[in-house]
Amino acid sequence: MKTRILSIVLVLALSMALLAGCGGSTAPASQAPASQAPASQAPASQAPASEAPAEPQGWVPTKDIEVIVGNKAGGGADLFTRKVVEIMQQYKMLPVNATVVNKPGSSHVVGYTYLMENGDDYHMDVVSASFYTQPISGNSPFKFDDFAYVSLLCQDPNVMLCSNDSGFNSFEDVLAYAKDHPGELSFAGSSALSDDAILCELINATCGVDITYVAMESGADIMTNLMGGHVELGCCGPSEIGDNLAAGNLKAIAVSADSRLNIEGLKDVPTFTELGYDIHHQMPRGFVMAKTASPEAVKYYSDIMGKVAETPEWKAFLEENCMMAKYLDCDGYAAFNQELVDTYTEYIGIIMANQA
């Protein structure tokens, strides 16, 4: 009798462990739309799905698609990708299934390696800052020519913050102090080769000051150090600030974006461009495929992404996560990409030269 109970318990445990093994990447994506569709807006979700999916003429996928995310489940790139896939499935834009595959490791490089190994028409990978920083810093074996650019969907603005202890109230205060005291101010950002580091270098180069960059591990570390007054300046995405701005735990002094942010608490914060400095560096988010994919497939996905960008769910997602919409199709992105590559190359080069 006892061995019976034990074996039942062990079998249950084994099946749970099996769930662990295969449930990691695909389960949330496939379960979430199924459970949310009836729970949220039951009648409304049927009506807009009348968009006719892929027309018979032109290339159409015939196998299931894999969308690769080079990060763990739950991270920014992962949530972004899952939302895109969810909307595509909700509106039945694809005649096949699309699954999200997580390949974390080495800041997305493992993900791009996996993309290159399966460089056909059915594999896509999500783009974030690491796509640009890793090849330039020599950490990734791929070059920008190895990829086919599908589309850009949005950009993440950066908010420059300062601690309450620093006594600054505006960007001008910061610059005035920094010009008189070179090398004294610290600027916290996440990781050494990131958009935050580039923003700091952009400020140094454009405004002629010398602010020291301190690399932290994550948004959480930046926030705690700012609120604790250990660094004077810092930078993070608007979604990482939470309620701390409203609670008065720190101040926002400038925004690196194309226009002012339409987010609670940040509407009064000027952009760098308004202040007279040509800084509008943001993190791009989009999708790429391997160069070996056919141009028709790239165009097909690019059009689908365009449709995703028009949906109300996507707009709501962007607003919730404080991302700025910017849709570029495959040709537009390929052109814009050159600008991005130039900016990243220049500033990562400066950062790496400073380290030597």
Partner 1 sequence: MELLHNLATGFSVCADPIVLLYCFIGVVCGVIIGALPGLGPSTGIAILLPLTYGMDPVAGIVMLAGIYYGAMYGGSITAILINTPGDSAAVMTTLDGYPMAAKGRPAQALGMAAYASIIGGSVSVVIFMLLAPVIAKFALAFSPAEYFALMVMGLTSIAGMTGDDPFKGFVAAGLGLFVSTIGMDAVLGTQRFTFGSVQLMGGIDFIPVAMGLFGIAEIIYASAQKDGKKITITREELRFRKMFPTREEWGLCLPHIARGTVLGFFVGVLPGAGATIASFLSYDLAKKTSKRGDQFGTGVIEGVAAPECANNAASMGAMVPMLTLGVPGSGATAIMMGALLMFGMTPGPYLFDKNPEFAWGLVASMYIGNIILLLLVISALPLFVTILKVRPGVLNGVVIGFILMGSYAMNNRLFDVGVTLFFGAVGFFFKKLKVPAAPMVLAIVLGYITETNLRQAMIMNKGSFAAVISRPISAVILIIAVLLAFGTPIKSFIARLFAKKQAE
Q: Which of 95, 182, 242, 349 binds partner 1 (CB under 8 A)?
A: 242
Per CB under 8 A, does 228 bind partner 1?
Answer: yes
Q: Which of 187, 230, 182 is nearest to 210 (CA)?
A: 182
CA atoms of 162 and 231, how far apart (whole Å): 8
> Least separation, in Å, of the C-beta of 223 and partner 1?
5
348: tokens are 């990562």
> Least separation, in Å, of the C-beta of 268 and partner 1?
19
Piece in contact with partner 1 (CB under 8 A), picked from 43-51, 60-68, 187-195, 277-285: 187-195
Per CB under 8 A, does 355 bind partner 1?
Answer: yes
Sheet bearing 212-216, strands edge to edge: 212-216, 186-190, 233-236, 158-163, 250-256
Q: Which of 46, 164, 169, 224 binds partner 1 (CB under 8 A)?
A: 224
Q: Which of 60, 90, 173, 215 binds partner 1 (CB under 8 A)?
A: 215
The answer to whether 250 and 259 have CB atoms below 8 angstroms apart is: no
Q: Which of 63, 72, 81 is nearest to 107 (CA)?
A: 72
- Looking at the Cβ atoms of 72 and 299, the one nearer to partner 1 is 72
CA atoms of 19 and 21, how far apart (whole Å): 5
Query: What is the DSSP secondary structure assignment for residue 253, as one 8-state letter?
Result: E
| Dihedral, CA of residue 43, residue 44, residue 50 and residue 54, to nearest 10 | -110
Q: Which of 177, 230, 260, 324 binds partner 1 (CB under 8 A)?
A: 230
CA atoms of 49 and 65, how far apart (whole Å): 20
Residues 88-147 touching partner 1, rule: CB under 8 A, are 102-107, 109-110, 113, 137, 139-141
> Least separation, in Å, of the C-beta of 56 and partner 1?
35
Residue window 12-51: x/- pattern of binding to partner 1, with contact defined by CB under 8 A? -xx-xxxxxx-xxx-xx--xx--xx--x------------
Residues 247-276 touching partner 1, rule: CB under 8 A, are 247, 249
Q: Which of 205, 246, 316, 325 binds partner 1 (CB under 8 A)?
A: 246
Query: What is the DSSP secondary structure assignment for residue 130, as one 8-state letter?
Result: H
Q: Which of 225, 282, 302, 337 binds partner 1 (CB under 8 A)?
A: 225
293: tokens are 């994919």
Per CB under 8 A, does 231 bind partner 1?
Answer: yes
> Least separation, in Å, of the C-beta of 345 and partner 1?
15
> Least separation, in Å, of the C-beta of 54 and partner 1?
29
Whole-angstrom CA distances from 268 to 156, 251, 343 are: 18, 12, 28
Q: Residues with Cβ < 8 Å from 207, sequence gap 6 or more?
A: 175, 178, 277
Strand residues in the chain grouped as ranges (E): 65-69, 98-102, 123-127, 147-156, 158-163, 186-190, 212-216, 233-236, 250-256, 283-290, 324-328
Intra-chain end-to-end CA distance of the chain, in Å: 69
Q: Which of 8, 49, 205, 220 binds partner 1 (CB under 8 A)?
A: 220
Per CB under 8 A, does 186 bind partner 1?
Answer: yes
- Looking at the Cβ atoms of 227 and 334, the one nearer to partner 1 is 227
Positions touching partner 1 (CB under 8 A) are 2-3, 5-6, 9-10, 13-14, 16-21, 23-25, 27-28, 31-32, 35-36, 39, 72-74, 79, 102-107, 109-110, 113, 137, 139-141, 183-184, 186, 191-193, 212, 214-217, 220-221, 223-225, 227-231, 242-244, 246-247, 249, 355
